[in-house]
């Protein structure tokens, strides 16, 4: 018996595994026998050494009784086969993993083994017969056989039986006289296995290093201050923004207590306690929201990482975002001109700017209505609030509705998640500019009226009523009174909008401003060119239907085309020269014998300003002509006649009939417009 090594284990499968391993190394230099703890164990006093497989007190007692205290008893140090650990390395950091074994002690032993081997990125929970799985368990470690039935959705990592540690094996071998050659051979096999593991761990170490440096540069790139401390309150990381805020004078604070930071009192709670709510603190007249996160590895607390968010910056960005495209850029000083008509419009606008009533700007296209809207906002008490402009003619009805009033989440297919505020909400506290308001559909007219009356908005698809406080400045190039009389525009809305009407003169009506406007446009582009006198004469005699927008286009054309410092008539667009010369042909008033011709032209002019073509039938039945009793065929003949005079033009049926510039001129000459 003296040359006998005895192993006592709790389970027979573990015993068989260990016996095989010991015999492979120790026999024939000694005899290796084993017993399961539940078996009858004979007197072992003659054994050379007794090994037990775990620290379990029961095993120790059994061994002690069998040896009567006369033989050394050791707990076998055991470890997993290294290659089996690889599966564990793939499990994400912090995952909870149940470690299963036949008793709480052996389960804990396995956990200790894993932690000692620095496989410590997981949250291990001992698991043994009597424990039950809960829904959070995703992984279970077993040693060859599960000691508890496993639920189907739990991923099993089988670490196999733990092998005897190389130290214990070599040690025992030396005691029983294992020759040195055999020891070397065994060791060399072990070293091969070790180096494979080292390679595996080496890669993960490099990976960790890489991640670490990525993390460092990420925190450096963060614009907010970040400071990390270990559990002793020593600084382990601090980014440049935090250095600038807390310790601009210090050369290095890494490894030093966080109390070296200025205002560290404010940070104390965040470096001492877990789970603090975000807190607002003021440092150097700036406000920050401070939050901290505890750093943990398994159950071990490693320290805190503390981040500060600059609220001043957040507020600035928010204001910038809210106001993006929502600011008035022009003031009255940007409105160029000295003519009496313009000065009158400016004076009136300045007066009206000061109160809160709705303003209606009336004027042809390109006269500067939007410019006036900006200037009115800037001159009003709301100048620090938003200025939101929307062109009512440029959007289809349903889109205009959602732009004006906003929409709720899921109001329609493609609606943005969380809904969207409309321009009335965006202009809250400021001014909303409704350009081309005369073009809105009857259904939007109703909704707009409601908002103007109630000062409340209901988002599309919503039920909640939102109060809005914004001043409305509307603009139109249409004759709204006429649109009302034709039943195209609601009378009640018209009176709501036209509380304070301002007429913006056309360029024709303030033609004396033309040289100033040209000069201003050239100056803004840093261009120094002059105009030949006959060119200026021609420009002054042009009718400028497109007003200042048309003027700017003509000037831009001329300076692009011309290569000389003095602009000549050849540098003007041909279209403009043609029109001016055609106009001079018709300089003398065209003879209109029948006032009813003027009625037709007036009616066509109204459709023209509404940008709508009109058919003969519609014309004959229009309120303005109905009374004069035109039959359709009489009207056709009359329109043919007017077309020969170039006062109207007829397109295909779809295009209908429209008034020409000459026709408009005739109306003007006869004081109809």
* Residues engaged in binding ligand ATP (CB under 6 A): 335-337, 363, 365-371, 435, 477, 517, 548-549, 552
CB nearer to ligand ATP: give 287 or 611. 611
To the nearest whole angstrom, how small is the minimum distance from the Cβ of residue 577 to ligand ATP? 22
- Residue with nearest beta carbon to ligand ATP: 368
Give 217's contacts (C-beta < 8 A, 6+ positions apart): none
To the nearest whole angstrom, how small is the minimum distance from the Cβ of residue 320 to ligand ATP? 24
CB nearer to ligand ATP: give 367 or 609. 367
Residue entry with tokens 């284990």: 9
> 646-661: buried (b, 16+ CB within 10 Å) or exposed (e) per residue?
ebbbbeeeeebbbbbe
| 248: three-class secondary structure by DSSP | coil
Q: Apex CA 63: angle with CA 59 and CA 69, to 5°?
A: 135
654-to-135, 615, 650 alpha-carbon distances in Å: 71, 8, 10
CB nearer to ligand ATP: give 21 or 439. 439
Note whether 585 and 560 are within 8 A (CB): no
CB nearer to ligand ATP: give 335 or 567. 335
Tokens of 247: 């310790």
To the nearest whole angstrom, how small is the minimum distance from the Cβ of residue 371 to ligand ATP? 4
CB nearer to ligand ATP: give 308 or 555. 555
Count of other CB atoms within 10 angstroms of residue 586: 16
CB nearer to ligand ATP: give 39 or 347. 347
DSSP 498: T
To the nearest whole angstrom, how small is the minimum distance from the Cβ of residue 363 to ligand ATP? 6
Backbone angle region of 429, left / alpha / beta, with phi > 0 → left and psi within -120 to 50 → alpha: left
CB nearer to ligand ATP: give 372 or 407. 372
CB nearer to ligand ATP: give 363 or 422. 363
Count of other CB atoms within 10 angstroms of residue 643: 15
To the nearest whole angstrom, how small is the minimum distance from the Cβ of residue 93 to ligand ATP? 60
Residue entry with tokens 């790139």: 221
Tokens of 260: 């070296």
Residue entry with tokens 């070397």: 184
CB nearer to ligand ATP: give 334 or 453. 334
Nearest to 445 by CA among 410, 470, 471, 480: 480
Count of other CB atoms within 10 angstroms of residue 277: 7
Instruction: Tell me the C-alpha distance between 313 and 323, whole Å.
Output: 15
CB nearer to ligand ATP: give 238 or 376. 376
398-to-167, 401, 407, 412, 422 alpha-carbon distances in Å: 81, 5, 11, 10, 13
To the nearest whole angstrom, how small is the minimum distance from the Cβ of residue 557 to ligand ATP? 15
To the nearest whole angstrom, how small is the minimum distance from the Cβ of residue 511 to ligand ATP? 13
Instruction: Tell me the C-alpha distance between 668 and 574, whole Å.
Output: 25
Instruction: Tell me the C-alpha distance between 247 and 243, whole Å.
Output: 5
CB nearer to ligand ATP: give 366 or 663. 366
Instruction: Tell me the C-alpha distance between 44 and 59, whole Å.
Output: 14
Instruction: Tell me the C-alpha distance between 387 and 325, whole Å.
Output: 8
């Amino acid at each position: 018996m003296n040359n006998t090594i005895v192993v006592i284990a709790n389970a027979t499968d573990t015993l068989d595994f260990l016996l095989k391993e010991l015999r492979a190394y120790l026999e024939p230099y000694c005899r290796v026998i084993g017993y399961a703890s539940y078996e009858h164990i004979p007197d072992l006093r003659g054994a050379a050494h007794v090994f037990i497989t775990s620290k379990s007190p029961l095993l120790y007692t059994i061994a002690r009784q069998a040896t009567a205290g006369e033989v050394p008893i050791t707990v076998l140090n055991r470890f997993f086969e290294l290659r089996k650990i690889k599966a564990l390395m793939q499990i994400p950091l912090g995952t909870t993993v149940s470690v299963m074994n036949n008793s709480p002690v052996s389960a804990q032993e396995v956990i200790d083994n894993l932690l000692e081997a620095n496989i410590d990125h997981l949250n291990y929970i001992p698991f043994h017969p009597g424990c039950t799985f809960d829904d959070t368990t995703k992984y279970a470690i077993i040693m060859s056989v599960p000691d508890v039935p496993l639920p189907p959705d739990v991923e099993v990592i089988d670490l196999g039986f733990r092998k005897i540690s190389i130290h214990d094996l070599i040690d025992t071998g030396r005691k029983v006289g294992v020759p040195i050659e055999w020891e070397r051979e065994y060791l060399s096999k072990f070293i091969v296995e070790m180096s494979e593991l080292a390679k595996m761990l080496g890669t993960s170490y490099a990976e960790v290093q890489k991640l670490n440096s990525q993390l460092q540069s990420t925190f450096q790139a963060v614009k907010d201050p970040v400071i990390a401390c270990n559990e002793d309150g020593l600084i382990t990381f601090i980014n440049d923004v935090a250095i600038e805020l807390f310790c601009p004078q210090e050369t290095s604070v890494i490894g030093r207590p966080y109390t070296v930071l200025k205002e560290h009192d404010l940070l104390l709670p965040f470096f001492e306690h877990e789970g603090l709510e975000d807190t607002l603190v003021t440092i150097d007249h700036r406000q920050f929201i401070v939050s901290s996160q505890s750093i943990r590895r398994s159950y071990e607390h490693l320290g805190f990482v503390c981040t500060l968010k600059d609220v001043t910056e957040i507020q600035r960005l928010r204001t910038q975002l809210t106001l993006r495209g929502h600011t008035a850029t022009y003031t009255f000083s940007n409105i160029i001109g000295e003519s009496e008509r313009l000065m009158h419009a400016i004076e009136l606008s300045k007066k009206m700017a000061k109160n809160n009533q709705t303003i209606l700007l009336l004027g042809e296209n390109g006269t500067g209505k939007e410019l006036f809207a900006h200037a009115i906002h800037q001159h009003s008490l709301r100048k620090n609030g938003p200025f939101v402009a929307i062109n009512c003619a440029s959007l289809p009805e349903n889109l205009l509705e959602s732009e004006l009033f906003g929409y709720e989440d899921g109001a329609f297919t493609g609606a943005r998640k969380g809904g969207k505020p409309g321009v009335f909400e965006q202009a809250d506290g400021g001014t909303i500019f409704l350009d081309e308001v005369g073009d809105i559909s009857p259904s939007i007219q109703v909704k707009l009226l409601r908002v103007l009356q109630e000062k409340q908005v209901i988002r599309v698809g919503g039920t909640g009523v939102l109060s809005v406080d914004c001043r409305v400045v509307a603009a139109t190039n249409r004759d709204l009174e006429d649109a009302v009389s034709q039943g195209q525009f609601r009378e009640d809305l018209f009176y709501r909008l036209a509380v304070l009407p301002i007429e913006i003169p056309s360029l024709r009506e303030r033609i004396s401003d033309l040289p100033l406007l040209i000069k201003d446009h050239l100056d803004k582009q840093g261009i120094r060119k002059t105009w030949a006198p006959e060119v200026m004469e021609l420009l002054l005699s042009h009718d400028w239907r497109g007003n200042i927008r048309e003027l700017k286009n003509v000037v831009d054309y001329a300076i692009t085309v011309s290569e000389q410092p003095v602009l000549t008539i050849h540098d003007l667009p041909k279209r403009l020269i043609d029109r001016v010369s055609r106009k001079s042909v018709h300089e003398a008033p065209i003879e209109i014998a029948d006032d009813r011709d003027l009625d037709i032209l007036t009616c066509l002019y109204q459709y023209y300003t509404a940008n709508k073509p009109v058919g003969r039938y519609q014309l004959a039945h229009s309120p303005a002509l109905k009374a004069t009793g035109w039959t359709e065929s009489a009207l056709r003949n009359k329109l043919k006649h007017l077309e020969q005079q170039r006062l109207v033009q007829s397109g295909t049926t779809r295009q209908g009939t429209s008034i020409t510039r000459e026709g408009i001129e005739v109306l003007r000459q006869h004081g109809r417009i």
